[in-house]
C-alpha cells in the first residue's frame, strides 16, 4: 500500500551492497523481518545457513511485509564457511568481545569500508548470529572486522532484524549521500517585511477593539512579544494571506443566513432595541452599526425564525419575495418583502413590557411608511406553520393590514 510507505509502482534502488548472512536463524518470522529491513535500505542479497525450521517458510513470507523479491532469491548453505567463501571483506556482528585481536568498528565505519570495497567489484558480507546466543568464536574468527553497536552496555542484545536494519541504514545513508526520498515543495516565497507589517497592523487593530492589549503600561512589551511570535515563524506570503483571513474571520464572524448560534426571542428583540436607541442620536459615520447588528441577527436566528425562513424560501407562494433581518431605516423586522411592502414580526413568549413597547413603536414607524405588519406568535410557527403561511397568503391577496 502506498499509504503505508510501500509503493510497488516505484523502482527499487539499484545499488550493490553487502551480502547479509543469517547463521542458523530459529524463527521464520525473524527471517521475514530481516528481509523487510533489507528492503527498507536497498539490500537484496540474503544468505541463510541451516535455518532451524527449514526453507521455504510461510511465516517468513508473512513477516516480510512485501519484501518477496528478497525472499525469492535467498541462497541456502549448510555451513558458514560455504556461505562466506566468496567474500573478500567479512564483518561479524556481535555484542561480546570474544577476546579476538581484530578491529572493532561501528556500523558507520563498516558501511564506508563496504562501499569502497564493492565499488571495485569485490564481495563484502555481514554475519548475523543466532537469536539465542549469537555467533560462536569460530565463526567470528572467519571475519576481518567486528561490528558492534553503541548501545547500553547493561542491555546490549538486539533483535536480529534490528541489527540488520542498523547496518542497512548506515550503508544506505552513505551510499545515497543522505538523500531523502522526498522533500516538501516550496509553495510560496518568503513574506516581505511590508507584508508582515500590514498583517501585524491589522492584528493589532482588531486586538485594540477587544481591549486585549492592557494594561496600557504593558502594551509595548506585549506588542514586541507578539511580533516575535510571527518573525520566528519565517512565514511565507501564503502564510500571511492565511493569517489575514483568520483574523478577519474571527473579527467579522461567519457570513450568510442561519450559520451561527441560536438567540432566544428576547435576545433578538433586545438587539433591535439597542439599535433603535443608538439610531436616535447616531451620526452619519455610524451607519455601519445598522449593518453590523443586521449581520449579527442573521447569524443567530431563533428556532421559530429558522423554521419560518426555510418555509418562505421553499414555498412557491413566497419564494424570492422575502429577506431576513434586513434594515428598514434604523429598524430591522424579522422578515420584509420590499415588493409587497410587508413586514413579519415574530412574537416570542414571555416578552417584557420594554420589548412589547419597542415592537409597537417599530410597527407604527413601518406603517407610517406604507408597510403592512403581520405578527406571528413564535409558538404558532413552531406548532402549526401551515396555518401561519395560509394567513400570510391571505394577507398578500387582500392588501389589508396584517396586525
Residue 173 neighbours by CB under 8 Å, 6+ apart: 111
Cα 219 to Cα 230: distance, rounded to the nearest angstrom: 17
Q: Are strands 75-77 and 46-49 parallel, antiparallel or unpaired?
A: parallel
Q: Are 354 and 273 in contact (CB under 8 A)?
A: yes
Span 193-252 CATH architecture: Orthogonal Bundle (1.10)
Q: Please provide residue 283's backbone torsions phi and psi, each rounded to the nearest 5 degrees.
A: -90, 165
In angstroms, the Cα distances linking 345 to 37, 156, 158 are: 73, 81, 78
pLDDT digits (tens, 9 = 90+) for 73-123: 999 999 999 999 999 999 999 988 778 889 999 999 999 999 999 998 999
pLDDT of residue 10: 64
pLDDT, one tens digit for every residue, the chain (403 residues): 444 556 666 666 678 999 999 999 999 999 999 999 999 999 999 999 999 999 999 999 999 998 999 999 999 999 999 999 999 999 999 988 778 889 999 999 999 999 999 998 999 999 999 998 899 999 999 999 999 999 998 898 899 999 999 999 999 999 998 888 777 666 678 888 888 888 888 888 888 887 888 888 999 999 999 999 988 988 888 888 888 878 877 776 644 433 445 555 555 555 555 554 444 444 444 445 455 555 555 566 778 888 998 999 889 888 888 988 777 876 778 899 988 899 999 888 877 776 788 788 889 989 998 899 999 998 999 999 999 999 899 888 876 554 4
Where in the chain is CATH 3.40.1280.10?
2-175
CATH 3.40.960.10 occupies which residues in the chain? 265-398
Residue spans in the chain of domains classed CATH 1.10.8:
193-252
Cα 208 → chain centroid: 31
What CA–CA distance (Å, rounded) separates 112 from 171?
7
Neighbours of 217 (CB within 10 A): 7
- Among residues 357, 364, 291, the alpha carbon closest in space to that of 325 is found at 291
Picking from 3, 70, 5, the residue whose alpha carbon sits closest to that of residue 33 is 70
| CATH label, 2-175, candidates 3.40.50.2000, 1.10.357.10, 3.40.1280.10, 3.30.390.50 | 3.40.1280.10
SS3 call for 317: coil
In 10 A of CB 207, how many CB atoms?
18
State the Cα–Cα distance between residues 57 and 45, nearest whole angstrom: 17
| pLDDT the model gives residue 286 | 44
pLDDT at residue 298, as a whole number: 59
Name which of 125, 128, 129 is nearest 164 in CA terms.
Answer: 128
| Local structure of 313: helix, strand or coil | helix
Instruction: Locate all alpha helices (DSSP H) within 1-155, ordered by sequence.
Output: 28-40, 58-63, 68-71, 80-83, 107-118, 137-140
CATH for 265-398 (3.40.710.10, 3.30.70.380, 3.40.50.720, 3.40.960.10) = 3.40.960.10
Q: What DSSP line would sit under 28-47, residue for residue?
A: HHHHHHHHHHHHHTT---EE
pLDDT of residue 302: 74
- Quote the pLDDT of residue 185: 64
Amino acid at each position: 500500500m502506498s499509504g503505508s510507505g510501500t509503493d510497488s509502482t516505484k523502482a527499487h534502488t539499484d545499488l550493490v551492497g553487502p551480502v547479509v548472512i543469517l547463521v542458523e536463524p530459529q524463527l521464520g518470522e525473524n527471517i521475514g523481518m530481516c528481509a523487510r529491513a533489507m528492503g527498507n535500505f536497498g539490500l537484496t542479497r540474503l544468505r541463510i545457513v541451516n535455518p532451524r525450521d527449514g526453507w521455504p517458510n510461510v511465516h517468513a513470507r508473512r513477516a516480510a511485509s512485501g519484501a518477496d523479491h528478497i525472499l525469492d532469491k535467498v541462497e541456502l548453505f549448510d555451513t558458514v564457511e560455504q556461505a562466506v567463501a566468496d567474500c573478500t571483506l567479512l564483518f561479524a556482528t556481535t555484542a561480546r568481545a570474544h577476546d579476538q585481536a581484530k578491529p572493532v568498528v561501528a556500523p558507520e565505519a563498516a558501511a564506508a569500508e563496504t562501499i569502497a570495497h564493492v565499488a571495485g567489484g569485490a564481495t563484502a558480507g555481514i554475519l548475523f548470529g543466532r537469536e539465542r546466543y549469537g555467533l560462536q568464536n569460530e565463526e567470528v574468527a572467519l571475519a576481518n572486522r567486528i561490528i558492534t553497536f553503541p548501545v547500553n552496555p547493561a542491555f546490549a542484545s538486539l533483535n536480529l532484524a534490528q541489527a540488520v536494519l542498523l547496518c542497512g541504514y548506515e550503508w544506505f545513508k552513505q551510499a545515497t549521500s543522505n538523500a531523502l526520498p522526498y522533500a516538501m515543495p516550496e509553495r510560496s516565497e518568503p513574506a516581505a517585511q511590508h507584508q508582515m507589517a500590514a498583517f501585524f497592523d491589522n492584528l493589532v487593530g482588531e486586538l485594540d477593539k477587544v481591549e486585549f492589549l492592557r494594561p496600557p503600561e504593558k502594551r509595548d512589551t506585549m506588542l514586541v512579544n507578539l511580533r516575535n511570535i510571527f518573525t520566528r515563524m519565517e512565514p511565507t506570503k501564503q502564510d500571511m494571506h492565511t493569517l489575514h483571513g483568520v483574523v478577519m474571520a474571527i473579527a467579522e464572524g461567519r457570513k450568510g443566513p442561519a450559520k451561527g448560534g441560536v438567540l432566544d426571542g428576547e435576545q433578538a428583540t433586545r438587539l433591535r432595541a439597542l439599535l433603535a436607541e443608538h439610531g436616535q442620536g447616531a451620526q452619519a459615520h455610524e451607519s455601519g452599526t445598522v449593518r453590523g447588528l443586521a449581520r449579527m441577527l442573521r447569524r443567530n436566528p431563533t428556532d421559530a425564525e429558522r423554521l419560518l425562513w426555510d418555509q418562505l424560501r421553499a414555498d412557491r407562494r413566497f419564494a424570492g419575495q422575502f429577506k431576513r433581518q434586513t434594515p428598514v431605516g434604523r429598524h430591522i423586522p424579522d422578515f420584509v418583502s420590499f415588493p409587497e411592502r410587508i413586514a413579519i414580526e415574530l412574537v416570542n413568549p414571555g416578552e417584557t413590557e420594554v420589548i412589547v413597547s419597542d415592537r409597537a413603536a417599530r410597527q407604527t414607524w413601518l406603517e407610517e411608511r406604507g408597510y403592512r405588519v403581520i405578527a406571528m406568535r413564535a409558538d404558532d410557527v413552531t406548532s402549526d406553520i401551515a396555518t401561519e403561511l395560509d394567513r400570510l397568503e391571505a394577507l398578500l391577496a387582500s392588501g389589508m393590514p396584517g396586525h
